[in-house]
Structure 1
Amino acid sequence: MAETMNSPMEIDEGFLPSKSPTNKGKSVISEVSSKSTPWVEKYRPQSLADVAAHRDIVDTIDRLTNENKLPHLLLYGPPGTGKTSTILAVARKLYGSHYQNMILELNASDDRGIDVVRQQIQDFASTQSFSFGAKSSVKLVLLDEADAMTKDAQFALRRVIEKYTKSTRFSLICNHVNKIIPALQSRCTRFRFAPLDATHVTERLQYVIKAEGLDVTESGLAALVRLSNGDMRKALNILQSTQMASPHVTEDAVYLCTGNPMPKDIEQISSWLLNESFATSFGCISNMKMRKGLALVDIVREVTMFVFKIKMPADVRVKLINDLADIEYRLSSGCNDKLQLGALVTCFTYARASLVAAAK
């Protein structure tokens, strides 16, 4: 076991998702699921073979499970990339129908203090293990959102991991690995789950669309994939909420349901910012924002992405993107919308002046 934990298995690089077989990621949690069941749960992968992406990671964990060499795991990366689904699939493979008796699942953002480590986790790890006919008698502690744990709790968890390694495996799941203390990181085999490729998100959405019998246009599907940003959970939530609001899932319906500005709106806003006066730009953007119920932070975020498509000198682009990032940060901190809209128009005014000067 020690060899496994200290081997080159400690993987920090992102894996390129390999092409999975056409039958991967196609299972449904239950045929009797009610219509009100969130699709993120209804269509959660039930086995390692069902996980649609990150095949290199999944196949490695599957091999370690088959060889009974499963180490402590640290799965990290953005939300909705399959971290929790992967470890739950591992638990089902190890314990079958008895897995509920063999795992302790905690959300560390709720149970984050040292008392939880000393009581719930240590009590579970110290009790005698009964396999109940499962393939493995080693128990599993699953700590979701482990980066929310206090430092004291993490140090206490380190001691528990050391003490109960023979009978218990620990799986830590987090978004930000830098918030996990080095002492815990060194005791786990690390896997990074990168944002899902658009192809995998599209394939999974197409399966759900077919299973639910939805009317989704090609532009609507493209909008779902674009707004998900590699987050499968987000993509399914947007799809479900949109079909509840509209019988036809179109691009307009998706953007209307989420409240995000449409690409054509961003093009229009960018045109105003680059070509009109301060007063005209400010007034036009304010009117569109109020008329369509758009959030300024979403406008700033989308305009930032649009800046990458505009041909301009590198130094002008860098300054403009930094200015936009400052505005987005201030908006997220609760600053006044009108002031930040003025700052948005102002930074483009300076950028336009720099472009004119560069042209001369």
Structure 2
Amino acid sequence: MQSPWIEKHRPKFLEDVVGNTDIVSRLKVIARHGNVSNLILAGPPGTGKTTTIHCLARHLLGKSMSQAVLELNASDERGIDVVRSKIKSFAQRKVTLPPGTHKLVILDEADAMTPPAQQALRRIMELYSTTTRFALACNMSSKIIEPIQSRCAILRFSKLSPPDVGERVRKVLITEGISFDDEAIDVLADISDGDMRVALNAAQAASVVHSHLTQRNVLEVSDIPHPRAVMTMVEHCQKSELDEALFVLKDLWKQGFCAEDIVKSVFRVVSNHSTLEEVVMLHFLKIVGQTHCRIIRGHDNFVQLAGMIAAMAIKDMEFVPEG
């Protein structure tokens, strides 16, 4: 049975980690000196937070990693009992380690921990600071209580850039012996929205059906509106060609795409549209954001999409920059 590419091709060393070069450079310095502090790794999903801390642990602990690392997913095991039993017993355990290194507790989805569990964790971090270090991976560091934040160095991961995603996907496809078009790589990088897992999962799904990846078959498995169609719709809006823009919208709707898929695709296309003037791009993004909020609140989806297109096609914008 074929294993998921996101696991099969997960980086093993810091040199292999893609994106967030400043953070990776800092961790390489820590790896050389060996004395790692408590860490909070915050950022969007699929940006390499857990992978990066695994690479650091592998560099610091080597063969001792299996005994000296405890990994828990706090979204599943987030109560105070887990902190008092599993984490405390691990912190108390004696393990032979390389000189100058510590045991490591990796808590994934740490922002899902309950407040009482976080308070108990804070106390354990104090008591066992000489033998154990903690790495907390989360999407939002603001959900980690202040006493823990003050005991940690916070590393903020950002979304991966399309070139970074495209480069890694290209290497994986070559390793797997899958042929591809450059346009397919561009689409995979675009639909990932900075999440490497999304790009690799889409590439693997397409490769199961097709021996050669093209833009078309990647879009088929990804189930998102074709970027060219969305681009055409935006360009019609830019020229105030409302009927033509609505015709494209209706066609996308008939294909079965949901309102959120269409709104997100419009956002990506507008953000990356190189020919749009900045004031027009900001105006379009404002309209798209307002439409997204109304759709989330449960208002009639197609009516909101049509209203978005109409608002974008109006020449008289609500705001004009000063100066």
Partner of 1:128: 93
Matched letter for residue 222 of structure 2: T
| Alpha-carbon distance in structure 2 between the residues aligned to 1:313 and 1:104 | 49
Partner of 1:171: 135
Pair 1:306–1:63, CA change in 2 (3 A): closer
1:141 aligns to what SS in structure 2? Answer: strand
Percent identity between the aligned chains? 36
Residues 1-33 of structure 1: CA deviation (Å, up to 9, x unaligned): xxxxxxxxxxxxxxxxxxxxxxxxxxxxxxxxx
Matched letter for residue 78 of structure 2: R
Shift of 1:233: 1.8
Partner of 1:344: 308
Partner of 1:26: none
Partner of 1:40: 6
CA contact (8 A) 1:94 1:136 kept: no
What is the 5 A alignment of 1:130-169? Answer: 130-131=95-96, 138-169=102-133
Partner of 2:38: 72
Partner of 2:145: 181
Residues 64-117 of structure 1: CA deviation (Å, up to 9, x unaligned): 233231111111112222211111112222333342222111111112222222
Matched letter for residue 128 of structure 1: R
66-75 or 333-342, which moves further after superposition?
333-342
Shift of 1:205: 1.7
Partner of 1:301: 264
CA contact (8 A) 1:142 1:171 kept: yes
2:106 aligns to what SS in structure 1? Answer: strand
RMSD value over aligned CA atoms?
2.6
TM-score w.r.t. length of structure 2? 0.86
| Alpha-carbon distance in structure 1 between the residues aligned to 2:247 and 2:20 | 47
Shift of 1:45: 0.9
Shift of 1:266: 0.6
262-271 or 300-309, which moves further after superposition?
300-309
CA contact (8 A) 2:210 2:217 kept: yes
| Alpha-carbon distance in structure 1 between the residues aligned to 2:122 and 2:3 | 37
2:166 aligns to what SS in structure 1? Answer: helix
Pair 1:233–1:165, CA change in 2 (3 A): same
| Alpha-carbon distance in structure 2 between the residues aligned to 1:264 and 1:56 | 34
| Alpha-carbon distance in structure 2 between the residues aligned to 1:304 and 1:205 | 23
40-49 or 96-105, which moves further after superposition?
96-105
Shift of 1:146: 1.0
Pair 1:103–1:283, CA change in 2 (3 A): same
CA contact (8 A) 2:188 2:202 kept: yes
Matched letter for residue 290 of structure 1: K
2:93 aligns to what SS in structure 1? Answer: coil
CA contact (8 A) 1:94 1:135 kept: no
| Alpha-carbon distance in structure 1 between the residues aligned to 2:150 and 2:233 | 49
| Alpha-carbon distance in structure 1 between the residues aligned to 2:48 and 2:119 | 27
Pair 1:201–1:328, CA change in 2 (3 A): same
Matched letter for residue 90 of structure 2: F
Pair 1:290–1:115, CA change in 2 (3 A): same
204-213 or 148-157, which moves further after superposition?
148-157
Matched, 1:63 2:26: no
* Structure 2: stretches of 5+ with no match in the other structure: none
Partner of 1:275: 241
What is the 5 A alignment of 1:239-250? Answer: 239-250=203-214
CA contact (8 A) 1:282 1:341 kept: no
1:352 aligns to what SS in structure 2? Answer: coil
Partner of 2:60: 94
Matched, 1:285 2:249: yes
Shift of 1:157: 1.3
| Alpha-carbon distance in structure 1 between the residues aligned to 2:49 and 2:19 | 11
CA contact (8 A) 2:34 2:101 kept: no
* Structure 1: stretches of 5+ with no match in the other structure: 1-33
| Alpha-carbon distance in structure 2 between the residues aligned to 1:313 and 1:94 | 47
Shift of 1:142: 0.3
Partner of 2:75: 109
CA contact (8 A) 2:35 2:100 kept: no
Pair 1:203–1:353, CA change in 2 (3 A): closer
CA contact (8 A) 2:283 2:317 kept: no
Shift of 1:343: 3.0
Matched, 1:265 2:222: no
Partner of 1:204: 168
Q: Which of 175, 179, 193 is the equivalent residue of 1:215?
A: 179
